[in-house]
Amino acid sequence: MADKIKDAKIIFVVGGPGSGKGTQCEKVVEKYGYTHLSSGDLLRAEVASGSERGNQLQAIMQKGELVPLDTVLDMIKDAMIAKADVSKGYLIDGYPREVKQGEEFEKKIGAPALLLYIDAKSETMVQRLLKRGQTSGRADDNEETIKKRLDLYYKATEPVIAFYESRDIVRKIDSELPVDEVFKQVSQAIDKLK
Ligand SMILES: Nc1ncnc2c1ncn2[C@@H]1O[C@H](COP(=O)(O)OP(=O)(O)O)[C@@H](O)[C@H]1O
Ligand SMILES: Nc1ncnc2c1ncn2[C@H]1C[C@H](O)[C@@H](COP(=O)(O)OP(=O)(O)O)O1
Ligand SMILES: [Mg+2]
């Protein structure tokens, strides 16, 4: 595995729910041709398949909780391998959500070259998620679950940023600005990688 993706850059995209991770990743795909893997999207695909495992995942996600680490990591790893021959870089969106996930990823796959920290105020995230909820059809875009997701973000995911800061790979992105302004910052961080 490590061999197959040895030249591909790995970028972790970390930020609260509704901070704009998915929005920025789409633009990175367009400009840089990186492979975008969203843990949430992978999980929702499993739910949509109607499998027994998908039903269990749905119940967890609806409560705003984290699904088991092994499940997410296996899904990401399989998806990375599937793209290994064509991918020059990977955007890992929504993972790691806790320090342990980062540690396990590095043991099984490899080290990230960059961590994009997509930062927005909690009020901003709530407003964006409530708006997204009007059309997303996502079971977790409702007021009650949003609150739980935010709490979990501050408790479990923010420590991930501190964990990688010591390696100097964290780039903090101000995601309060309009999408294109946010993307300028993202582009600058990626351009510096080369
Ligand atoms: N910079 C921004 N300004 C305004 N709205 C944004 C911005 N970035 C994202 N959004 C909107 O906020 C919502 C959440 O964005 P999304 O990319 O799905 O976030 P995440 O993947 O982090 O949950 C979406 O409806 C999106 O259109
Ligand atoms: N790395 C991960 N570990 C555990 N659960 C995860 C996960 N990534 C996603 N999930 C589950 C729990 C999340 O509340 C839900 C939705 O995730 P998401 O689509 O990444 O949300 P968002 O883009 O709004 O931040 O899926
Ligand atoms: Mg997303």
CATH, residue 22: 3.40.50.300
> Nearest C-alpha to atom 23 of ligand 1 is from which residue?
18
Does residue 152 fall inside a structural domain? yes
- Verify whether ligand 2 is closer than 6 Å to residue 72 (CB atom): yes
Does residue 174 fall inside a structural domain? yes
Does residue 141 fall inside a structural domain? yes
> Nearest C-alpha to atom 17 of ligand 2 is from which residue?
40
The total of structural domains in the chain comes to 1
Residue whose C-alpha is closest to residue 188's, from 176, 165, 172, 168: 172
Atom of ligand 2 at shortest range from CA of 40: 19
**Residue-range definition of the domain harbouring residue 23:** 17-186
pLDDT score recorded for residue 88: 84
Q: Give the Å distance between the CA of 144 and the centre of ligand 3.
A: 18
Cis ω on the peptide bond leading into residue 96 (within 30° of 0)?
Answer: yes
Strands in the chain per DSSP E? 9-15, 35-38, 89-93, 114-119, 170-174
Does residue 69 fall inside a structural domain? yes
Atom of ligand 1 at shortest range from CA of 93: 21
What's the ipTM? 0.93
Q: Give the Å distance between the CA of 23 and the centre of ligand 1.
A: 6
C-alpha to C-alpha distance for 47 and 182, rounded to whole angstroms: 31
pLDDT score recorded for residue 194: 75
pLDDT score recorded for residue 6: 64
What pTM, to 2 d.p., does this model score? Answer: 0.96
Tens-digit pLDDT string for the chain (194 aa) = 556 676 789 999 999 999 999 999 999 999 999 999 999 999 999 999 999 999 999 999 999 999 999 999 999 999 999 999 888 899 999 999 999 999 999 999 999 999 999 999 999 999 999 999 999 999 999 999 999 999 999 999 999 999 999 999 999 999 999 999 999 999 999 999 97
Query: Ligand 2: which of 43, 73, 150, 151 to mutate, most ligand atoms within 8 Å of CB?
Result: 43
Does residue 87 fall inside a structural domain? yes
- Verify whether ligand 2 is closer than 6 Å to residue 71 (CB atom): no
- Verify whether ligand 1 is closer than 6 Å to residue 182 (CB atom): yes
Does residue 68 fall inside a structural domain? yes
6: helix, coil or strand? coil
pLDDT score recorded for residue 2: 55
Does residue 171 fall inside a structural domain? yes
Does residue 59 fall inside a structural domain? yes
Q: What is the DSSP string of 126-141?
A: HHHHHHHHHHH--TT-
Which residue type occupies 147? K
- Verify whether ligand 2 is closer than 6 Å to residue 75 (CB atom): no
Which ligand has the shortest distance to the CA of 134? 1
The token pair at 189 is: 């961080």
Which residues are known binding-site members for AMP?
39, 44, 65-67, 94-97, 101, 138, 149
pLDDT score recorded for residue 136: 96
